[in-house]
Chains A and B, each alone.
Chain A
Amino acid sequence: MTKMAGKQIIVEALKKEGVEVIFGYPGGAIIDIYDALAKDGSIKHVLVRHEQGAAHAADGYARATGRVGVCLVTSGPGATNAVTGIATANMDSIPIVVLTGQVPTALIGNDAFQEVDIVGITRPCTKHNYLVKNVKDLPRILKEAFYVAKSGRPGPVLVDIPKDVQNAVTDFNYPETITLRSYDPVKEPHIKQIEKACRQMEESKKPVLYVGGGVISSGAHEELRALAEEINCPVTTTLMGISGFPGTHPQNLGMLGMHGTYCANMAMANTDLIIAIGARFDDRVTGKIEAFAPHAKIIHVDVDPTSIQKNVRVDIPIVGDCKLTLAKMLKCLKDNGSKPEAWQAKHQAWWEQLRAWEKRHPLTYKKDPNIIKPQYVIERLYEMTKGRAIITTEVGQNQMWTAQFYKFDQPRTFLTSGGLGTMGYGLPAAIGAQMAFPDKLVIDMAGDGSIQMNIQELATAMQEKLPIKIVILNNQFLGMVRQWQELFYEKRYVATDFEFTPDFIKIAEAYGAKGIRATNPDDVDKVLKEGLEYPGLAIMEFVIAREEGVFPMIPAGKAHTEMLLV
Chain B
Amino acid sequence: MRHTLSILLENSPGALSRVAGLFSGRGFNIESLCVASTLDSTLSHMTLVTIGDDAIIDQIIKQLNRLVDVYKVTDVSQDEFVEREMALIKVNAAESETRSEVLRICEIFRCKIVDVTAKTYTLEVTGPESKLKAVIDLLLPIGIKELVRTGTIAMQREQKNT
Tell me whether B68 and A127 are in contact (CB under 8 A): yes
Q: Which chain B positions have C-beta within 8 A of A148?
A: 68
Q: Which chain A positions have C-beta within 8 A of B17?
A: 120, 123
Residues of A contacting B: mostly:
mixed
Q: In the complex, what distance in Å separates the CA atom of A304 from the CA atom of B66?
A: 8
Tell me whether A123 and B14 are in contact (CB under 8 A): yes
Q: Which chain B positions have C-beta within 8 A of A120?
A: 17
Q: Which chain B positions have C-beta within 8 A of A181?
A: 71
Tell me whether A119 and B66 are in contact (CB under 8 A): no
Tell me if A306 counts as interface (CB < 8 A to partner B): yes
Of the stretches B54-62, B94-102, B153-161, the one at the interface is B54-62
Q: In the complex, what distance in Å separates the CA atom of A128 from the CA atom of B15?
A: 10
Q: Which chain A positions have C-beta within 8 A of B63?
A: 306
**What is the number of contacts between chain A and chain B, taking CB atoms within 8 Å?**
37
Tell me if A131 counts as interface (CB < 8 A to partner B): yes
Tell me if B77 counts as interface (CB < 8 A to partner A): no
Residues facing B in A291-319 (CB within 8 A) are 304-306, 308-310
Tell me if B126 counts as interface (CB < 8 A to partner A): no
Tell me if B21 counts as interface (CB < 8 A to partner A): yes
Looking at the assembled complex, report how far the CB atom of B7 sits from the nearest CB atom of chain A, in whole angstroms. 11
Tell me if B10 counts as interface (CB < 8 A to partner A): yes
Q: In the complex, what distance in Å separates the CA atom of A306 from the CA atom of B28?
A: 14
Residues of B contacting A: mostly:
helix
Tell me whether B13 and A305 are in contact (CB under 8 A): no
Residues facing A in B7-26 (CB within 8 A) are 9-10, 13-14, 17-18, 21, 25
A182 with B70, Cβ < 8 A, contacts A124-B25, A306-B59 known: yes
Looking at the assembled complex, report how far the CB atom of B127 sits from the nearest CB atom of chain A, in whole angstroms. 33
A123, A180, A306: the one contacting B18 at CB < 8 Å is A123
Tell me if A183 counts as interface (CB < 8 A to partner B): yes
Looking at the assembled complex, report how far the CB atom of B40 sits from the nearest CB atom of chain A, in whole angstroms. 11
Looking at the assembled complex, report how far the CB atom of B52 sits from the nearest CB atom of chain A, in whole angstroms. 13
Q: Which chain B positions have C-beta within 8 A of A306?
A: 59, 62-63, 66
Tell me if B75 counts as interface (CB < 8 A to partner A): no
Nearest residue, chain A, Cβ from B71: A182
Tell me whether A182 and B68 are in contact (CB under 8 A): yes
Nearest residue, chain A, Cβ from B55: A309
Looking at the assembled complex, report how far the CB atom of B17 sits from the nearest CB atom of chain A, in whole angstroms. 7
Nearest residue, chain B, Cβ from A128: B68
How does the 8 Å CB contact mask read for B24-62 relative to A, with 1 for contact and 0 for none?
A: 010000000000000000000000000000010011001
Q: Which 3 A-B pairs have the closest CB atoms?
A: A182-B71, A128-B68, A306-B62
Interface residues of B (CB under 8 A from A): 9-10, 13-14, 17-18, 21, 25, 55, 58-59, 62-63, 65-66, 68-71
Between-chain CB contacts (< 8 Å), 28 pairs? A119-B14, A120-B17, A123-B17, A123-B21, A124-B21, A124-B25, A127-B68, A128-B68, A128-B69, A131-B13, A131-B14, A148-B68, A180-B68, A181-B71, A182-B9, A182-B68, A182-B70, A182-B71, A183-B68, A304-B66, A305-B62, A305-B65, A305-B66, A306-B59, A306-B63, A306-B66, A309-B55, A310-B59
